[in-house]
Structure 1
Amino acid sequence: MTQRTTDTTRHIAQHTAPYAEAVRAYAREDWLRLNVPGHSADPLRFEPLAQLVGEAPLRLDVPPLLDGIDLGAAGPMEQALVLAAQAWGARRTWFLTSGASQGNRIATLVSRALGNTLIVQRSVHSSVVDGLVLSGQRAAFVHPSVDAERGIAHGVTAAGLARTIAAHPEAAAAYLVTPSYFGAVADVRACADVAHAAGIPLIVDEAWGSHFGFHPDLPENALAQGADLVISSTHKLAGSLTQSAMLHLGEGPFSDTLEPLIQRVFHLTQSTSASALLLASLDVARQTLVTGRDRIGASLDAADKTRARVRSAGRFGIVSDAFDRFGDIVTADPLRVSIDTRAGGISGHEARRRLMRDHRIMVEVATDSAIVAVVGAGTAPDTDRFVEALHALPAPLRDQPSADHLRLPAPGGVEMTMREAFLAPSRTVAAHEAVGQVSADTLAAYPPGIPNVLPGEVVTADLVNFFQRTAAAPNGHVRGAADPAVTTLRVVDRTRCT
């Protein structure tokens, strides 16, 4: 479902949305649908579904492989993909309907064709770990900087990446994450130079930066800085529907090698019944970004206003104000408003819970020390309502959390590859009995979904305490846990390993 940019398609205007327009045109016709999906766009006989989503989505929910929509070398789908590649500065773009998680799994499997060791930022999303389970590669970790005061992981430096590459000259590729969940942006250009000098491609999980490059006050995107393969979670701040994303191939020294590999793995991972609603939303999101500079400017103003009002009130802190203390951070995403709630006498988890319960305000993520509010590119949120609700929060903390309480636990030692541990015989034991044993699962405090223990790593007492504290917090969740309260853990059964 991809097509590189060609001279014959460059005339297609970015203000159009060819795939979305073709789907809308199809939906307006009076079809007798004797094909899937089974609701047949019939709101009378599928009234509960129509009441849930509306009649229009039923009509727009068209199957794949239709003439005039997604078939043909120059059809609307191919045109939409070309426009997306042009907009993000890619050689080729793939539309994904299983989120950036699908893109991470594709990229990891692609890298396996290049070698058996992948250099991975330790704070990657858990979907990268899922990819390593599938690929069977060994991971060589490059560790991010950590704000120990707030318990937040940021990014990596080019020097740190170079040291890890030097220690693993057999590496197939390097895999980094930027921006971080809290909006910290790493020096992608320097990291790309380091990777390319070592003869390996740079893969960037830019899930949180799909809007980068579409306004002069936003950071450049990773492709513009030399990244070879970029995962873009378009639904996050760029405005497509949840679960839609894009994968971009750069015009770099490895593009000829990577392109056919990506195409093969894309077909391996993408549904043969990809949702037209999700695909069309990607087309519209690109159109909206390219033509929406003024709207994005209003969003930037709203985020700036929020930070300014929080600073002037004096109760809470702005997490990004401390970014200059970290050598890996070169800039910040201005559409991320990260607030140190602990400074205002309330934990991030409690602040998030009360904002939802008492004020009907949702924020993206909470930790012990902070909350993160995001402003979608092109939205204009009621910043006064948010700031007033924030400062109406009580200060229930009798004591401030200690640095030890906020500290992210160090990972345990590596005993097996992720694939070996995931597929090995396992057993479920009480959490305290798992200490010292090898984890069979990926466990991640979610959000942000950054793995704290990986298959093949040793479980430590600090990790058990961290997971149970996370699970007990309001809205706390540990992705991959054997039970919601993390009273048990799944470990490798060494007695049954051959």
Structure 2
Amino acid sequence: MRNPALPQSSAPYADALTAHAREPWLRLNVPGHAADPEAFADLAAFTGEDQLRLDVPPLLDGVDLGADSPRAKALRLAAEAWGARRTWFLTNGASQGNRIAVMALRSLGECLVVQRSVHSSVVDGLVLSGLRAAFVQPGVDRTLGIAHGVTAQDLATALAENPDAAAACVVTPSYFGAVADVRALADAAHAAGVPLVVDEAWGAHFGFHPELPRNALALGADLVISSTHKLGGSLTQSAMLHLGDGPFADRLEPVLERVFQLTQSTSESALLLGSLDLTRRRLATGTDALGRSLRAAELVREQIRDRGRFAVVGDGFAEFPDIVAADPLRIPVDTRAGGIPGHEARWRLMTEHQVLVEVATDSAVVAVVGAGSAPDVARFVAALHALPVTVPPGRGPERPELPVPGEMRMTAREAFFAPSRSVPAHEAVGQVSASTLAAYPPGIPNVLPGEVITAELVAFLQSTAATPGGHVRGASDPEVQNLRTVTPSWSARCSTSCAGSPRRA
């Protein structure tokens, strides 16, 4: 798989695609715009003429086809850069990578030991694969209401309680930049005889600068999902899936390839693929640019500390045993300490200052600095401190508590496909959810298909939805007045008929 003769400074796929686009083709194939900026003037004005020419179909000679094609070379270079045995380019985000991983793990067993605060796409994978989940609860900062990671001891305990586990799945770093001890987690998984899967969506840049944490593959992970478009800087919706060169690789590789073919579009975007090739080159050769980004992020944190109104969430990470490091390109800010809820802060930053941040919870916002970017530090710090005080500084009793997940009575697949109905939210309490709902932060589910809906969950979701800028992903109505639940008679029937399949809350 290695190709040492090809340097990381090259971009074989992007270069071949660019060369192809420069030729005066008479395009009688798809896409239908045929790279004609006159006939499709509105599209050309929207995307730019160069993008029309680069928007080509897959399976082109000289670009995609062949064992030594530019595309194959780009994939080998990516595997080399991240230290993988093999890498796949994805055009439906890291969400696709999570679904591929979980579906492929079905070949190893029937149970997945999984961190409860994983992305909803992992839950999608449970629905698609039918795997039973045994959840490991993450450490939680109850003051701020945010989840972090899991410890190796907790993972080892869960694996010991589930000897039929196919694999262990964790997420690191977290939305807030908390980095787990991947080496210890890998050792725990391997001691139990299973691979470790790491959703490293937020850590695509790890390992490319001495001030950054090492990436999960370098620390013993067997399968890693990388949302390269996040902080890596490729185009939105592009990502990578990396297979480590460990003891499970021979068995996993062929099934991963089959599931990749099952999930990847046959009309994958050349623009997204090309952006992955260029991003790999920039990360592998851009140490100086990364250094500038790291200095900018640290300057923001320093100025926030100096002003004293707000707090930097990462400054408290040392209190948690599940955190061993922090991503320095993440700037998590405790906004309630400065007298404004996180959702409102995010909304006001956008509407009043034209400043966009990545994540908001009731207590915090998270700004991110892309690997290689150089943001206007003064503008962000000034906008943040111009926000009004709308609640008493600190975290008063009015802050909704992060709800503890309800009991898991059905597998995600059973609940997803079971007969269901929409009921008023207050009537849904005690019933089994048929949906995945996520209000904290976008992507991490507060309730899964198969989990019991609690009164605390309903209050949390409705409180989030009522906050300016608040949003509940997966809700059937914006105010979360109704919830979709499994028909009670079906839930009882399934709980009885499936009693031989143990489930963990």
TM-score tier (shorter): over 0.9
Does structure 2 retain, via aligned residues, the 8 Å contact 1:244–1:278? yes
Does structure 2 retain, via aligned residues, the 8 Å contact 1:369–1:406? no
- State the 1:447 CA deviation: 3.8
Q: Does 1:155 align with 2:149?
A: yes
**Distance in structure 2 (CA, Å) of the matches to 1:401 and 1:187:** 30
Does structure 1 retain, via aligned residues, the 8 Å contact 2:143–2:395? no
**Distance in structure 1 (CA, Å) of the matches to 2:413 and 2:390:** 44
Partner of residue 132, structure 1: 126
**Distance in structure 2 (CA, Å) of the matches to 1:393 and 1:418:** 41
**Map of 1:44-443 to 2, 5 A cutoff?**
44-398=38-392, 400-402=394-396, 405-443=399-437
- State the 1:10 CA deviation: 1.9
Normalised by the size of structure 2, how large is the TM-score? 0.96
User: In structure 1, what residue type is equivalent to 2:149?
Assistant: G
Does structure 2 retain, via aligned residues, the 8 Å contact 1:149–1:406? no
- State the 1:415 CA deviation: 1.1
- State the 1:475 CA deviation: 2.3
Q: Does 1:24 align with 2:18?
A: yes
**Distance in structure 1 (CA, Å) of the matches to 2:70 and 2:145:** 47
- State the 1:405 CA deviation: 2.6
Give the stretch that moved more between structures: 382-391 or 239-248.
382-391
Does structure 1 retain, via aligned residues, the 8 Å contact 2:172–2:178? yes
Runs of 4+ off more than 2 Å = 398-407, 494-498
**Distance in structure 2 (CA, Å) of the matches to 1:185 and 1:468:** 30
Partner of residue 478, structure 2: 484
SS at match of 1:478: coil
- State the 1:400 CA deviation: 4.7
SS at match of 1:352: helix
**Distance in structure 2 (CA, Å) of the matches to 1:245 and 1:126:** 16
Give the stretch that moved more between structures: 216-225 or 447-456.
447-456
Does structure 2 retain, via aligned residues, the 8 Å contact 1:148–1:403? no
Q: 2:454 aligns with which of 436, 460, 480?
A: 460
Give the stretch that moved more between structures: 442-451 or 379-388.
442-451
Deviations 1:360-404 (A, max 9, x none): 100001111111000000000000111111111111114754357
Alpha-carbon RMSD across the aligned residues, in angstroms, is 1.1
**Distance in structure 2 (CA, Å) of the matches to 1:86 and 1:258:** 19
SS at match of 2:332: strand
**Distance in structure 1 (CA, Å) of the matches to 2:194 and 2:26:** 53
**Distance in structure 1 (CA, Å) of the matches to 2:326 and 2:78:** 24
SS at match of 2:52: helix
Deviations 1:13-34 (A, max 9, x none): 1101100001100110001100
Does structure 1 retain, via aligned residues, the 8 Å contact 2:117–2:138? yes
Does structure 1 retain, via aligned residues, the 8 Å contact 2:336–2:393? no
**Distance in structure 2 (CA, Å) of the matches to 1:369 and 1:496:** 39
SS at match of 1:453: coil
Unaligned runs of 5+ in 2: 494-505
Deviations 1:401-450 (A, max 9, x none): 43573421011111111100100000000111100111011111164310
Does structure 1 retain, via aligned residues, the 8 Å contact 2:91–2:237? yes
- State the 1:473 CA deviation: 1.8
Normalised by the size of structure 1, how large is the TM-score? 0.97
